[in-house]
Amino acid sequence: MADLTQHEWISKLAADNNAVVLDVRTPEEVAEGIIPNAKHIDIFKGQGFVDEIQQLDKIKTYFVYCKAGGRSGQACAVMNQLGFKKTYNLLGGFNEWQGEVSSI
């Protein structure tokens, strides 16, 4: 896992054809907006979160974010424990996101 600033995150994401953006916020937070094309898996689902994460392709690169960067860091750590090799945490999370936002 690596913590990336928004600039680093966007740059690495653009350069990776095998990337997935993962939003680990609650449904209420996602209702406020989501980074386009992000997959949503709520980290507060507990074992349900782990079960859904285990269905993902471990070969891909995951760019993970939450509201402020804490839960996404935890999600990256869990993913690494489950065998994911490339996970990136967005420092500052959605709160500090300056890029495009879409609604669900």
Which strands sit side by side in the sheet containing 39-40, from one edge to the other?
2-4, 86-90, 61-65, 19-23, 39-40
Q: Does the annotation count 76 as an active-site position? A: no
Q: What confidence tens digit (pLDDT) does each residue in 28-63 have?
A: 999 999 999 999 999 999 999 999 999 999 999 999
In one letter, which amino acid is 22? L
Q: Which of 4, 24, 64, 66 is catalytic?
A: 66
Q: What is the CA radius of gyration of the chain?
A: 12
Calpha distance 33→36 (Å, rounded)? 9
Residue 104 lies in a domain: no
**What integer is the mean pLDDT of 88-96?**
97
If one counts the domains in the chain, the total is: 1
Residue 57 lies in a domain: yes
pLDDT at 49: 98
Contact 12, 40 (CB under 8 A): no
pLDDT at 50: 97
Residue 103 lies in a domain: no
pLDDT at 103: 86
Calpha distance 74→80 (Å, rounded)? 10
